[in-house]
Amino acid sequence: MSIFTEYYKEKENIGRLLVKCPNKPGIVAALSKFLFEHGADIIESSQYSSDDESNMFYIRFEYYCDGLSEKSAQMEDDFTELAEKFKMDFTFTYNKTKKRSAIFVSKETHCLLELLWEWQSGDLDTDIPLVISNHETAREIVEPLGIPYYYIPANKDIREEVEAKQIELMEKYEIDVLILARYMQILTPSFVKRFPNKIINIHHSFLPAFIGAHPYERAYDRGVKLIGATSHYVTNDLDEGPIIEQDIERVDHRDNIPSLKKIGQQVERRVLARAVKWHLQDRIIVKDNKTIVFH
């Protein structure tokens, strides 16, 4: 059995370090030395240097360290000096702390079903303390799994009242990530501001094409040859937040609106699931309105 396999038997001793900073010589060496000096063995390392005027550097480490639970606070404290030297924005995360996800859904359940299947099979490494919906449609899917289901009717006239209830639930359940699995409500700026880069949406088209309502009808009228989906972080610019993942399927003149929708739903399911997995695995660094995703 390999050392790598042995490491993953002790997941509580696995941590991740994400860094973004201005690019300059010596960053990788300094980070590697820091981890080595703190008894950490690097399992995975991915890096990227931008080639534009921003001249930024991005890196993700996954590492194993015996007794990480006891060492993590000191490691973070010790890292401050290095971070100041290289002007680093950084994040430490730990396998021992599983992220907690709230799923928001409306009438269409295909993305919800995909997420629940991935979760049940162990491929979506998260806790799901609740599902929130403005319809009762998904209750019979969710509650048999032992997940609390909150039906909160929503429309533009009561949006602030609805979001106050949702925020209360996010705080009660200590939610780390909000997944909009075809939740067909526009969120207010104050709600979005509370959860920066923590709300993941799936858009039922290939952004920036066909933003807004009825995308498949408009795609059909346009005679598109590709159907796609985009998962992105939610910002206050509708459907224009940092893109995490996209995918497409080829279609042709034989496809009508119902078949386009069916194909599109298949793409939506896999795109959202991949985006959520990458977020849960801390594989995404956001810079302005773009993402660096270390697959």
Work out the number of other CB atoms within 10 angstroms of the CB of residue 165: 14
Q: Which of 239, 252, 255, 288 is catalytic?
A: 239
The CB density around residue 155, as the number of other CB atoms within 10 Å, is: 9
Name every residue whose Cβ is closer than 8 Å to that of residue 72 and which is 6 or more positions away in sequence.
15, 92, 94
- State the maximum Cα–Cα separation within the chain, in Å, rounded to a whole number: 62
Are 200 and 272 contacting, i.e. CB atoms less than 8 angstroms apart? Answer: yes
C-alpha to C-alpha distance for 248 and 250, rounded to whole angstroms: 7
What gap in Å lies between CA 278 and CA 65, rounded to an integer?
Answer: 22
What are the backbone dihedrals phi and psi of residue 38, each rounded to the nearest 5 degrees, phi first?
Answer: -100, 15
Q: Is 93 helix (H, G, I), strand (E, B) or coil?
A: strand
Tell me if residue 288 is catalytic. Answer: no
Cα distance between the two ends of the chain:
25
Q: Which residues are catalytic?
A: 239
